[in-house]
Amino acid sequence: MQRVDEINFKTVFPNVFEADIHQINRDFNMEIHNLIENEISNVERTFVYIVERRGLNLFLPFVSTIKKFHEMGTIRLYDDKKLAGIKEGANNSRRECIIITDAIRKGEEISIIVDSLNKLGIEVLKVCGYLSNKETIENLRNMYADTKFKFIHEVTDYSQYKEYYGKTAIIHHKRLEPLDSEHPYYMYKFKNKIGRDKIETLIWESCKKANISRDQDLINNDITGYSAEFNGDDALKSISLNTKNDFFEIDRLLLRFRFDKSKSELRIMAFCDVNNFNLNKINLMDDYIEEILPGFIRYCNFLNDISSSQKVVCPLCTDINLSRTFLDKYDYKIKRLSENKGFFLKIVKKFDPFLNY
């Protein structure tokens, strides 16, 4: 089963993937470091938004540095070209910001983001990133005269753009953090170096009821990816859900693994697809949720025409809370299984899409 986001880059950018990927990674990190130092860290304290998905993934190693000097949040623009939302680690009371993104080619996405922020009364002081089309950037500078645009590479034709963009694909594929930051994931470190055979044993034995597939090598022999897909019934059984559920259905549970054997590190991401909510009973779901998920976290509020006194549960919040629960259950299972086989692992990071960057 091929994964479009993770596999097809290798066929689109064959020349880049034949280059020295370690040198590309070193050069990239130095360029981003200089951009952060010259354009972000040394300016007066303000608010910084990083554009999801690829922008956040590219700049993830530098988030801690940025947060030393500025408040921070993220912005996500979906396929319908409407600003879906802003996640803020702190309230942007300054009413101004810097935007960080990965690349600008035609400029439509960044224009929508800048316009949307301006409508909220937030002035965009600067837009920074790795790659841009020079003609597009000049047009944006004319459109937003009060906004500074600073990109590491400003290219004049598509062949140059494709070459640099291919290098960012390598950076994405070398990292265990997923491109999609909407789903929770756990990061693990093995005590000793282990090979692909042992990690496959762990996955296959701990996901016996799942349909498991191995993605082809993403970059080199060090990094591999796996997917384990459970149907809705098996997903519910995996968290010992014995109570009657006539509020919603779980379409599937997908666990996505990525393993780096050079570092003996493993990432596990969970996606629980909840659908077919019973709208006639949705205002009664709170009591049910409290029974099956006592640690349920509300990430958002319903506005519109719903009375503030009416109890409702957001489908997205349900998805994420169920995914977190599955990861907790799987964490216990994989740790116990690895100990039985004599290769120990410890968890080094728990990522919650609404609480972390």
Taking only the tens place, the pLDDT of each residue in 25-40 is 899 999 999 999 999 9
Query: Which residue range(s) make up the domain with 48?
Result: 4-174
The per-residue pLDDT for range 150-193, each reduced to its tens digit, is: 999 999 998 899 889 888 888 887 888 888 788 999 999 998 88
Q: Determine, yes or no, domain membership for 103.
A: yes
One domain for residues 139 and 33 = yes
Any domain includes 67: yes
| pLDDT digits 0-9 by tens, 108-124 | 989 999 998 888 889 99
Which of 153, 174, 195 is the C-terminal boundary of a domain?
174
User: pLDDT: is 148 or 280 the higher one?
Assistant: 148
pLDDT for 8? 52
Q: Residue 54 falls within a domain, yes or no?
A: yes
Position 307 confidence tier, pLDDT thresholds 50, 70, 90: very low
The residues, ordered by sequence, that sit 6+ positions from 353 with a Cβ below 8 Å of its Cβ are: 181, 182, 183, 184, 320
Give dist(CA 32, CA 93) in Å, integer: 27
- Mean pLDDT, rounded, for 267-284: 76
Q: Domain boundary residue among 110, 145, 174? A: 174
pLDDT tier for residue 16 given thresholds of 50, 70 and 90: low
Domain contains 179: no
pTM recorded for the entire structure:
0.80
One domain, residues 198 and 306: yes
**Does residue 356 fall inside a structural domain?**
no
Its sign, for the CA torsion 171, 343, 269, 286, is negative
Average model confidence (pLDDT) for the chain?
A: 82
| pLDDT at residue 248, as a whole number | 74
149 and 100 part of one domain: yes
Task: Give 8 or 93, the one with higher predicted confidence.
Answer: 93
Same-domain status, 249 and 328: yes
* pLDDT tens column, 336-351: 999 888 888 899 999 9
Please classify residue 109 by burial: count the beta carbons closer than 10 Å to its beta carbon, then call 0-12 exposed, 13-18 middle and 19+ buried: middle
Which of 122, 151, 174 marks a domain boundary? Answer: 174
* Together in a domain, 29 and 128: yes
d(CA 319, CA 244): 18
Residues 282 and 170 in one domain: no
State whether 21 and 167 are in the same domain.
yes
CATH code, domain with 71? 3.40.50.2020
